[in-house]
Structure formats: structure tokens, C-alpha cells
């Protein structure tokens, strides 16, 4: 039986807003999940891609337009505040 793309997807749950904004600016859209009152950003992507982007973020080699990265940061903050009462 062949695995579908959804089955091959890697999930990454994180709380770091800066990293979440960088992944979002790289084309990934997170969903928000509540873990005992703490909101987590959960990203799904191709196996290895999330780790590669995260490694590039932490080593400072991830290249993103500053304005775009900042816009994603603001959007994620807005989503966090909006989700506080609804999750």
C-alpha cells in the first residue's frame, strides 16, 4: 500500500514566535493548538523540510525578506491574541 502525501507529512509543534514567523514566511501555514493553556504553532510539511528550515533559522542562514518576515510575525501575534479565548 502506497503512503499518501498526508501520511508522509512531518508535524512540528513549537512555541517560539520568531521561528514560527520564519517558517510562515517560508510558505508554511501553522494551525494553533492549546496545550494546557499554552498556545503552540503546529506546522506540517515534507519530511526533512521543516528541520532544514529550522536549522537555517537557528544558524542564521535562512534568507527572508525582512518586511515579509515582520508581516508574518504580526499576523501570528494577531492570531495568538484572537485564539486566546477561543481554543
Asked, for residue 6, whether it belongs to a domain, the answer is no
In a domain, 37, yes or no: yes
Is 2 inside any structural domain?
Answer: no
* pTM, to two decimals: 0.83
Report the 10 Å Cβ neighbour count for 70: 13
Q: What is the pLDDT of residues 18-65, one digit of tens each?
A: 999 999 999 999 999 998 888 999 999 888 899 999 999 999 999 999
| Structure-block grid coordinates of residue 44 | 506540517
Work out whether the CA dihedral 40, 70, 53, 6 comes out positive or negative: positive
In a domain, 64, yes or no: yes
> What is the phi/psi pair of residue 60, to 5°?
80, 20
Q: How many domains does the chain have?
A: 1
- Per the structure, the complete domain to which residue 49 belongs is given by 11-83
Amino acid at each position: 500500500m502506497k503512503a499518501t502525501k498526508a501520511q508522509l507529512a512531518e508535524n512540528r509543534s513549537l512555541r517560539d514566535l520568531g521561528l514560527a514567523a520564519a517558517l510562515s514566511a517560508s510558505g508554511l501555514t501553522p494551525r494553533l493548538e492549546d496545550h494546557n493553556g499554552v498556545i503552540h504553532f503546529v506546522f506540517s510539511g515534507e519530511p526533512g523540510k521543516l528541520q532544514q528550515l529550522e536549522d537555517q533559522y537557528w544558524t542564521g542562514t535562512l534568507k527572508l525578506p525582512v518586511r515579509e518576515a515582520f508581516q508574518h510575525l504580526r499576523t501570528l501575534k494577531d492570531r495568538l491574541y484572537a485564539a486566546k479565548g477561543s481554543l
